[in-house]
Amino acid sequence: MTTIAPPVVRTKEPTKSSGGRSGPVLWMALPAFIWFLAFGVVPLFGVLALSFTTWNGLGTIQPSGLTSWKATLSDPGLPHALWVTFLIMALSWVVQTPMSILIGVFISARKRYREFLAVLFFIPLLLSSAAIAITYKSLLDPNFGLGNGLGISWLNQDWLGNSTLAMAVLIFIVSWQFIPFHSLIYQGAVRQIPTSMYEASQIDGAGRVRQFFSITLPQLKYTIITSSTLMVVGSLTFFDLIYVLTAGGPGDATRALALAMYQQGFQANLMGPASAIAVILVLVGLGLSLLLRRLGGRSDDSQLEGA
């Protein structure tokens, strides 16, 4: 009996006051909170403050009211950069999501050769974006690239010099790089679906395709939302890949917001307008992630009814 006593005391403690329970929890969250405050919130407000100033990165920072905002908002480059950003976001989602789900479902089956393939699929995720960009840039070089090396002339397109092709190449590389990651998420989610559902549907005479659309896909709903949020918010910060691959070119065909911010701040020495773009980037990111959460609907619906 005495050995059972301590747990009883422990479980009773929290019920005395709700403050007693949240106290230690808050305390444990403190390091993370301080970290977030120092490297997330403080720079965020710093950037907000900078967007109301004029600064070339060298001299003194001079408050200049709305000058930077006016310059940024009246710049025709901003709507273009927003458009490019949304285009990259939408296209990469459209390409990545179906591919990731299919590959995720495929590798979730516990078969030897599929587990082997899963390891291969995973490789692009191990490489850094800069390395990927440099490699693809060399492969796609119209004069010294892959097409020339293999003697396949249709590969000798102006891949990164034509606006449409450059965007397509960018989406392809982004997808190539991140589909493994999202496949992994879907693989885990598919394995969570109770096999009893599939067994029941088999008795009802459902085929593989019917099973996929009626069981697998609805069961993956929340995973799709999670994966989409990661894709959409992640695509806002694509910088390294674009910077190395096309530097925003040809012309400004692939100049997304993050790149426009860098060029304003660190190449044109206009820290004020660059900070304004950064604030816009934050607002767009927050807006999108909130929207995706709304689309997710009420999370207290059970997905396992009747399972």
Partner 1 sequence: MTNNPVSRRNFLGLAAGAASAAALAACGSDGPSESGGGNTGGGSGGGSASYWSLSGPPGEPVRKAAIERFNKANADSKITTNFFQNDAYKQKIKTSIGANQGPTMIWGWGGGGLKEYVNSNLVEDLTGWFGENAAVKDKILPSSFGAATVNGKIYAMPIETVQPIVLFYNKKMFEKIGAQPPQSWGEIMALVPKFNAQKIAPFSLAGQSRWTNMMWLEFLLDRTAGSEVFDRVFAGEKDAWSDPAVLDMLTKIQDLVKANGFQKGFSSTTADSNADQALLYTGRAAMMLHGSWSYGIQTAQGGNFVKDGGLGWMNFPAVEGGKGDPSNTVGNPGQYLSISAKATPEAKEVAKKFMSTTLVDDEEKAGWVKSGGVPVLKNSESLFTGGDAQFLKDMAGIANGAKVFAQSWDQALSPTAAETLLDNIAKLFQLQVSPQQWVDSMNGVIGK
Q: Which of 181, 191, 176, 190 is nearest to 228 (CA)?
A: 181
Q: Does 130 bind partner 1 (CB under 8 A)?
A: no
Indicate the burial class of 148 (C-beta count within 10 angstroms; 0-12, 13-18, 19 or more).
middle
86/238 Cα distance (integer angstroms): 12
Name which position in 105, 184, 220, 258 contacts partner 1 (CB under 8 A). 258
Q: Is the CB of residue 74 less than 8 Å from the CB of residue 160? A: no
Query: Using the rule CB under 8 A, is 266 a contact of partner 1?
Result: yes
CA-wise closest residue to 303 among 217, 200, 245: 217
Contact 179, 267 (CB under 8 A): no
Find the shortest distance in angstroms from Cβ 238 to partner 1: 10
Is the CB of 58 or the CB of 150 nearer to partner 1? 58
Residue number, 124 or 142, with CB nearest to partner 1: 142
Query: Per CB under 8 A, does 54 bind partner 1?
Result: no
Residue 105 or 277: the one with the smaller Cβ distance to partner 1 is 277
CA 145 to chain centre: 30
3-state DSSP assignment of residue 204: coil
Q: Which is nearer to partner 1, 103 or 259 (CB)?
A: 259
The 3-state DSSP class for residue 54 equals strand
Task: By CB under 8 A, tell whether 43 contacts partner 1.
Answer: yes
Looking at 67-162, list the stretches that DSSP marks H as alpha helix, in order from N- to C-terminal side: 67-74, 77-108, 112-122, 129-139, 146-150
For partner 1, which residue of 17, 22, 56, 135 counts as binding (CB under 8 A)? 56
Query: With binding defined as CB under 8 A, does residue 23 bind partner 1?
Result: no
**Residue 137 interacting with partner 1 (CB under 8 A):** yes
Among 14, 20, 23, 57, binds partner 1 (CB under 8 A): 57
Q: Which residues bind partner 1 (CB under 8 A)?
A: 36, 39-41, 43-44, 46-47, 50, 56-60, 137-138, 140-144, 156-163, 166, 229, 233, 236-237, 239, 246-247, 249-252, 258, 261-271, 274-275, 278-279, 281-282, 285-286, 289-290, 293, 298-300
